[in-house]
Amino acid sequence: MIKGAIAIFKRDFKKFLGNPFVIIFTLLMPIMYLVIFGNAMGGTISHVSIAIVQEEPYDDSALPFTAFIDNLKHQAAVDYPPTFDIAIYTDELKAKRALQNGVVSGVLVLPSPNFRDRAMRLYVDSSDSVTPSIIISGVNTALVQSGTHTRVEINKIYGDIKYIQFFGVGVIVMAIFMTTMMGGGIALIKDREMGIIEGYFVTPVKRSSIIMGTIASGTVRAFLSGFVIFVVDLLITGILIQSTQDFFMVLLVLFITSIGITSFMVSMASRFSNQQEYASMSAFFNLILFMTSGAFYPVIGMPDWLRWITIINPEYYAVHALRSIILRGQGIEVIGMDLIALCIFSFAAIMLGIATYRRTLE
Amino acid sequence: MSDAQEKILHSYIPHTLSITRSHVFFNTPMSFSDPRPEEETEALRHPDSSRYFSSDQSVIRIEHLTKTFRDKQRTVKAVDDITFEVKRGEIFGLLGPNGAGKSTLIRILTTLLSPSSGTAFVGEYEITRDPEKIRGIIGVCPQNSTLDNELTAYDNLEFYGKLEDVDDRILPDRIWELLAMVGLTDRAHMMVQTFSGGMKRKLEIVRAFIHRPLILFLDEPTIGLDPESRREVWQQIETLNAENTTIILTTHYMDEAEKLCGRIAFVDRGRLISLDTMDNLRLLLPAGDLIEIGFDHMDERVLPAIREQHLVISAEVKDQKLLITAKNRNTILPAIFAVFERYSVTMNAISIRSPSLEDVFIYLTGKNLSDSGGSEGTQGGRGRS
């Protein structure tokens, strides 16, 4: 019995050592967890932008509450840059539009000097799970420390949004990624591993046809699973989709996201001939892309170097677009940029896949 | 030689009347006296291009093709400066032991691998310049199964038919025609993974000509098949050839090559050893039948007495065996028996055969065709790196 067990052990261990790629990626995984998860989730948030605007009727004289604003400007955690970036707006409507478009995270409307007894109005983006509480506590601290006595009215512009609702949107994107991991490129690798590929390499089928066909089938599967999770997410988190237009918009985003992520995985798969290597590589990308997508935690909390990743991360655009539609009820004017980014990404991934696919056995 | 291989050899080598069968005999290089002058056989051993480039009817032309595989430890020349032509409409046999480079050569011709040097034309197209055009005119049945086990027989053929760009209007009829050809009509919608080895093989072969290719490459088409299936596959190949399809067939079964092939190329260690028709190859060997008699104790008077017989071409003793080549075995046998009896020598084994391709191969390479490695053990290049 021992002899057999040792033989099995030796065989498995030889195979393990014979595959350095898998070893590296298995070790890289927890390290990336540490770095990305640790940074993305626990990062000290700074540079939260707040628009400050004075209520109408507008008074040309300098803004009141100077001490208060100064205090707000200089709040910071130890060794960190200022927590808030203050932008002075002169038009309340413009400031609110900036909040809706995500340019600023909060709008603070100061009462007009003529009506000193009015309350200060604070508008926060409640579709963001983190910044509202930071802004609220920052404003309160500033009031106390500057000795300003005034009431503050807090308005959550998208109503109360629970974390599960915030996170649920990210899970839809995760569903798409998971499906592409299991399906998507693995068909290509399986064919290569089993030698089936030799059977159709001798036919006139073009390299681009092979890649496009694989992407198409992967996209449909990813889209279906994304759709299922979208419905499940609505049921579990109790979000209501406002209109049929929003519903179809969600489907559009899901579809383009599916194309983008599937093409990316397929183009990665086009270079692999081993399922294990592919699996560890795709798990690695899954982690990076999902962590930096802002699904768990707003991107604003990430260190700068991680934020750079979000710029080329299709999941970031997908999460942003879905959140805009599902949580904020926003339309094409907000998610247009996301869709364009996703399309550019998909196109690049497809081209990469076609260019790198080996149409010979070597 | 594995049990399975041995079984196959036992059952398929024709022209063999084997009373006992000895491995020693098969593995011993033959030492018959060669009736032909040395220069002539030398020419056959080292063929040059002019010898084979004769007709303009060639459908495949291979010129100084070389393929080298490299990895960290060593470099293997899987195909080493091979030059020959295949004529339109023939069944061309590519013979050689395992690892001789047959599959690599086929993979180069079917555009799966690119050559290290040299060139080849398939149809009118050059393999590295117009691989796509070549893929359109060839049909390939690779050595390892490339059927999709998770699809049905029908789906497999349909998938392939679409990749081969068969007209959608005729594709269904063509698929049923092919399924009927291999007797799989009633299993059309069953998963291929439930099929026996023979059924899979036959399905794969018909799949290769779903688009009626100009040239059909069959890499070891009957490997691992039972005798009945082998005969069916052979019949199919002949039927196809009758429809004017050129067929290139690799095999390491002698009987298969003898039965099907018009011309045969012997390949060993990546080199072309000989190329000719079966009949001409047989001429390489000493004429007549081979008679092999085993004995325990030999009387020295036996050998001269046998050499005296006028039908005997040569006779010699080797490893407790008397090896005789003779012109007419039916009349010579009683005479040989009489000699043995006269000197009271007991025979313990006897076998009589016509020279087969295997003998030609042993003669040319000095080793058995079923030997996979060769003494240096550097045969490699089963093509995928």
Q: Which residues contact B293 (CB under 8 A, 6 or more apart)?
A: B321, B322, B324, B336, B340, B347, B349, B350
User: What is the distance between the alpha carbons of residues B183 and B199, in angstroms, rounded to a whole number?
Assistant: 9
- Amino acid A247: pLDDT: 92
3-state SS class at A362: coil
On whether both B106 and B172 belong to a single domain, the answer is yes
- Amino acid B13: pLDDT: 39
Task: Name residue, tokens 């291009």.
Answer: B49
On whether both B253 and B319 belong to a single domain, the answer is no
On whether both B317 and B179 belong to a single domain, the answer is no
Asked, as a colleague might, if the bond just before A57 is cis with ω within 30 of 0, I would say yes
- Amino acid A342: pLDDT: 93
On whether both B124 and B262 belong to a single domain, the answer is yes
Runs of H (alpha helix) within chain B: 3-12, 23-27, 38-45, 49-52, 102-109, 131-137, 153-163, 171-181, 197-208, 227-242, 254-260, 278-283, 302-308, 329-342, 357-365
| Of A294-303, B204-213, B282-291, the least confident | B282-291
Position B82 confidence tier, pLDDT thresholds 50, 70, 90: very high
Whether B376 is covered by a domain: the verdict is no
Residue type, A276: Q
Q: Which residues contact B8 (CB under 8 A, 6 or more apart)?
A: B253
Give the residue range(s) of CATH 3.40.1710.10 domains in chain A.
48-156
| pLDDT more than 70, % of chain B | 79
Nearest chain A alpha carbon to B109: A202
What CATH number does the domain containing B190 carry? 3.40.50.300
Position B307 confidence tier, pLDDT thresholds 50, 70, 90: confident
- Residues A321, A151 contacting (CB under 8 angstroms): no
On whether both B68 and B158 belong to a single domain, the answer is yes
Structure tokens at B362: 């042993």
On whether both B293 and B336 belong to a single domain, the answer is yes
* Residues of chain B with C-beta less than 8 angstroms from the C-beta of A201: 111-112
CB contact under 8 A, B135 and A199: no
On whether both B123 and B270 belong to a single domain, the answer is yes
> Would you call A10 an interface residue with chain B, using a CB distance cutoff of 8 Å?
no
On whether both B90 and B198 belong to a single domain, the answer is yes
On whether both B211 and B291 belong to a single domain, the answer is no
On whether both B125 and B226 belong to a single domain, the answer is yes
Whether B367 is covered by a domain: the verdict is no
Per the structure, how many domains does chain B have? 2
- Amino acid B72: pLDDT: 80
Q: What is the pLDDT of residues A243-293, one digit of tens each?
A: 889 999 999 999 999 999 999 888 888 878 788 888 888 888 888 888 888
Nearest chain A alpha carbon to B134: A204
CB contact under 8 A, A362 and B114: yes
- Amino acid B24: pLDDT: 35
Q: Is domain A48-156 in CATH 3.40.1710.10, yes or no?
A: yes
- Amino acid A59: pLDDT: 62
pLDDT of B292 > 60? The answer is yes
| pLDDT more than 90, % of chain B | 31
Nearest chain B alpha carbon to A201: B112
Residue of higher predicted confidence among B179 and A77: B179
Residue of higher predicted confidence among A319 and A146: A319
Mean pLDDT taken over chain A: 84
Whether B383 is covered by a domain: the verdict is no
In DSSP terms, B42 is beta-bridged to none
User: What is the distance between the alpha carbons of residues B171 and B165, in angstroms, rounded to a whole number?
Assistant: 9
No. of helices (H) and no. of strands (E), chain A: 15, 5
Facing A201 at nearest CB: one of B112, B148, B164:
B112
Give the pLDDT mean for B21-31: 36
Give the pLDDT mean for A79-98: 84
- Amino acid A317: pLDDT: 93
β-strand pairing of A84-89 with A48-54: parallel
This complex has an ipTM of 0.76
No. of helices (H) and no. of strands (E), chain B: 15, 15
| Edge-to-edge strand ranges of the sheet holding B125-126 | B75-87, B58-70, B117-122, B125-126
On whether both B152 and B215 belong to a single domain, the answer is yes
Whether B365 is covered by a domain: the verdict is no
Asked which of B282, B316, B337 is the last residue of a domain, the reply is B282
- Amino acid A295: pLDDT: 81
Facing A362 at nearest CB: one of B159, B163, B385:
B385
Q: If interface means Cβ-Cβ distance under 8 Å, which residues of chain B face chain A?
A: 107, 110-114, 132, 135-136, 138, 140, 142, 144-148, 159-160, 163-165, 204, 383-385
- Amino acid B368: pLDDT: 59
pLDDT of B17 > 90? The answer is no
CB contact under 8 A, B142 and A200: no
pLDDT of B20 > 90? The answer is no
Position B285 confidence tier, pLDDT thresholds 50, 70, 90: low
Whether B37 is covered by a domain: the verdict is no
Position A10 confidence tier, pLDDT thresholds 50, 70, 90: very high
- Residues A291, A40 contacting (CB under 8 angstroms): yes
Whether B161 is covered by a domain: the verdict is yes
> Would you call A204 an interface residue with chain B, using a CB distance cutoff of 8 Å?
yes
CB contact under 8 A, B147 and A199: yes
Task: Name residue, tokens 């497809």.
Answer: A350
Coarse DSSP helix, strand, coil percentages of chain B, rounded to the nearest 5 percent: 35, 25, 40
CB contact under 8 A, B146 and A362: no
Position A64 confidence tier, pLDDT thresholds 50, 70, 90: low
What CATH number does the domain containing B348 carry? 3.30.70
Nearest to B145 by CA among B135, B137, B156: B156
pLDDT of B23 > 60? The answer is no
Whether B339 is covered by a domain: the verdict is yes
User: What is the distance between the alpha carbons of residues B54 and A113, in angstroms, rounded to a whole number?
Assistant: 107
Whether B364 is covered by a domain: the verdict is no
User: What is the distance between the alpha carbons of residues B347 and A178, in angstroms, rounded to a whole number?
Assistant: 75
CB contact under 8 A, A361 and B136: no
Domain interval for residue B73: 54-282
CB contact under 8 A, B384 and A361: yes
pLDDT of B148 > 50? The answer is yes
Question: Residue B252, Cβ neighbours under 10 Å: how many?
Answer: 22
CB contact under 8 A, B142 and A202: yes
| pLDDT more than 90, % of chain A | 19
- Amino acid B380: pLDDT: 37
Give the pLDDT mean for B165-193: 92
Q: What is the pLDDT of residues B28-59, one digit of tens each?
A: 333 333 444 444 444 443 344 333 444 457 89
